[in-house]
Amino acid sequence: MMLHLRSRHWVVDEHDRIIIGEGRKEILETIEKTGSINKTSKVMKMSYKAVWGKIKATEKYLNIRIVNTDRKRGAWLTHEGRELLKKYRLLKETCLKEDDRTFGVIFGQEMVPEEEKE
């Protein structure tokens, strides 16, 4: 039997409110791709209000603006928004590598099927 580790990571404030996690990462990435909060909400199958609410909550908790909007230009990430996304991606990549290493140490060799050991 092969076991695999699944990990999710959230950055939260002192009150355990989510600042950024997979969902907000996807929102920011989709805004980068589409240039629109409305299109982002459709792609993600969320309401416009829910997407906008998550953006505003993160902005409020961090006291920075992460998304700019303009009726003519659409939506785009601010410098701070791009930095937040970049840092979260790096955090996630680093955490997943460490998670995999720790998983291997704890569950390691005894979990590899005999036919795969050769």
The confidence score (pLDDT) of residue 114 equals 40
Helices (H), 13-78: 22-34, 37-43, 48-62
Domain 17-103, CATH among 1.10.10.10, 3.20.20.70, 3.40.50.1860, 1.20.1050.10:
1.10.10.10
State the average pLDDT for the chain: 90
The confidence score (pLDDT) of residue 109 equals 46
The domain segmentation of the chain, as residue ranges, is 17-103
pTM, entire model: 0.83
What pLDDT digit, counting tens, does each position of 29-79 carry?
999 999 999 999 999 999 999 999 999 999 999 999 999 999 999 999 999
